[in-house]
Structure 1
Amino acid sequence: MPPAFAGESVSPNQTASAFRLARYPSPPAPSEEATALRRLTVAALAELPALAERLHVPEHTARGLSLDLRGHAALSGTAAPEEEQGRTQKAAYALESALLDVKRAALADLRAQGDFDDGVLRHVEHVLDIEAHHLATKTALLSGSPTGRV
């Protein structure tokens, strides 16, 4: 049975069982995932300038998003051998995780200072939880394990 909370662990057997019960196909191989995600990123980059103009997005915002997407494309690009790409992605994800820890520590400081309403702090904490879940999902895709553990 899938976990009720993000922090709970799930065995690969539980995940495979959940896929069978729900009649979902088995998750694709990690290299297929990387190829699909890379193609999606290339498509998004191709459409970004026109969409930014149509939606009146400021140039600096569109440029930042473009750089972010290009970074993702570089992490999953074909220039480096797959093993090197994996190491690069793991390093990037480790950095993202460390930055999330810094954000959580800063949030604890804000809470201690009492400058912000508890509702605001809870919302910010929720945003950090979403970022952590997103990072865990990316890590799971990289490792080829449904739980992100190898």
Structure 2
Amino acid sequence: MGWRMVTDKNKNPLEVVEYSQLGYDKDYHRHRYHQGIPEGVKDLPPGIALPLESNLAYMNGICFSKGCYLGQELTARTHHTGVIRKRLVPVRFSSVVPISEGAEVLTQAGKSAGRYRAGQEDIGLALLRLVYVKEELHLKIAGNAQINLSASIPEWWPKASNN
């Protein structure tokens, strides 16, 4: 999935992790979006983002044996029933245009497939209904114009997962 490291300013990061290379924040976020990894309040809006829809269980970000945290009962019940209809997935746009966070993603038939969360240039994250991930999708931009997008399932997701 990539690395992000904070080191002492006197240390050379390339010596801390073998075969590493330096990059820019923009590169890090682009890689993160490509992998479908959410980070921060743009990708995980407080009060809106749900842990399972945000793939936190796939990243060992949820403990199902610990209790007493906000949303624990709903999260555990949903996890154990095994039905998660929407997930945060990487999306790629057909061109680079400004996209509003929260913009509705539509199928070619005009049905709501989900909502765009955040991104940069031609790549980002969207919370989509899984049944529509393989379909041709678009969202409306200025006026009646639309921009096409394609969604994908990250390779690091568990293969046995139906959702």
TM-score of the superposition, structure 2-length normalised? Answer: 0.27
**Larger C-alpha radius of gyration, 1 or 2?**
1
TM-score of the superposition, structure 1-length normalised? Answer: 0.29
| More helix, by proportion | 1
Bigger relative contact order, structure 1 or 2 (CA pairs below 8 A, ≥6 apart): 1
| More strand, by proportion | 2
